[in-house]
Amino acid sequence: MQPQQLMEHLTLLNPFEVVGKQYYEMFGRDLEFQKYLLLSLQTWETMPPIEALVSSEFEKKSAQIRRQFSNCYSTSRLSEDNFIDPQRDIEVEKLLRYIDIPAHRHGFIEIVYVLSGQCRHTVDGQVYTQGPGCLTFLNPHVTHELRAEPNCLCLTTKIRGDTFLDFHIPNMPYFAVPICFHCGNDTFMRDTMLYIYQQQETSGCYHSEIISYLYQALLTYCMQNYRDTMDFLYSSAPLNGRLLEITNYMFENYQTITLRGLAQHMGYSESYLCHLFKSNTGQNFSAIVRTFKLDRGQKLLQTTDLKLEAICEAIGYSDVNQFIRDYKKQYQITPAKHRKQFREQLQSDTSQT
């Protein structure tokens, strides 16, 4: 299928979007996410009429779904295991129109690309209106919310953290803050994104490898041609390209990085770097590095049997007790309890399937 044909195909409302549009036209609001989840469990033969979606019985069921969702993810993030197909390292989806997707965090990289129309993107409470050609990188710990306008065609891509770490993209390692590139009407960007989506849907021989290589090429091309358009979506003030180099170096060396060492390497004074971080991200140097260390620590808790001492050594913590205190402050749960809950949830999900 040619890019323009695929664009036209994606522009068509899918069945859930049709229901969402009818719901919007009848009640003046997007279909609530918990109702969408409840409908996704139905067959088309048992799909209730639009009027039934506001009945007391349906509201009661959807409220239960909302509570279950909130209980699972109010203090943690949407996990790779639950929200990425187990057969995939990279998964591309169309952002549904007329569906109210609540603010959330996740434990994987997400990339949002707007093909046409406008998308309202709220990142850590800051609202951005993104148009055609906007390519946004979202790191795991950020809270964000997406809403596609009726005229919007947008693709979202979920990438496992370890997969992204294996990418070889100049000056784009495992980043710490959300980044948006404004690529405009670049047909290479658009057509490559569409081809990646088509590769996934057709699932031909070696499609996973092709998708991985194409994504690395696409992101490298983006860094080559649109680096000067980059905005950091962490505060109202956009950051410059030089700060990307600074933060990249920080996170390539996060286990041992110091403010003094960073200042010497970059040729800036320590006071200038402190002002740069605080004025543009709202965080100081130590808080940014600590957040990244804790994020990597959480990943190791979930995916390995390493003891806390070994995890601390791997992520650059010299004091286990300090790691536990910082972890509890960041995630409102101790490392041991988080590992226990994560494994219990994983075991429960496995037994249900």
What percentage of the chain exceeds 90 in pLDDT?
58
pLDDT mean over 29-57: 89
In the predicted structure, residue 1 carries a pLDDT above the cut 90: no
DSSP single-letter state for residue 241: H
Going by pLDDT thresholds of 50, 70 and 90, the confidence category of residue 240 is: low
Neighbours of 49 (CB within 10 A): 8
Residue-wise pLDDT for 71-122, tens only, equals 665 555 677 878 899 899 999 999 999 999 988 888 889 999 999 999 999 9
Angstrom CA distances, 94 to 10, 82, 114, 198, stand at: 8, 18, 10, 12
Q: Which of 264, 219, 197 is nearest to 7 (CA)?
A: 197
pLDDT mean over 294-322: 92
> What is the maximum span of the chain, computed from C-alpha positions, in angstroms?
67
| pLDDT given at position 197 | 97
| pLDDT given at position 77 | 65
Which is more confident, 258 or 353?
258
| pLDDT given at position 125 | 83
pTM: 0.69
**Could you tell me where the DSSP H helices lie in 28-79?**
33-40, 56-73
Q: Which of 295, 254, 324 is nearest to 80 (CA)?
A: 295
Structure tokens at 154: 């947008």
| pLDDT given at position 174 | 46
| pLDDT given at position 113 | 97
In the predicted structure, residue 243 carries a pLDDT above the cut 50: yes
Residue-wise pLDDT for 260-274, tens only, equals 999 999 999 999 999
Identity (one letter) of the amino acid at 93?
E
Identity (one letter) of the amino acid at 20?
G
Going by pLDDT thresholds of 50, 70 and 90, the confidence category of residue 237 is: very low
Which is more confident, 225 or 347?
225
In the predicted structure, residue 173 carries a pLDDT above the cut 50: no
Which range in 73-77, 161-165, 166-170, 191-195 is most confidently predicted, on average pLDDT? 191-195
pLDDT mean over 153-158: 96
Place of tokens 């995916």: 303
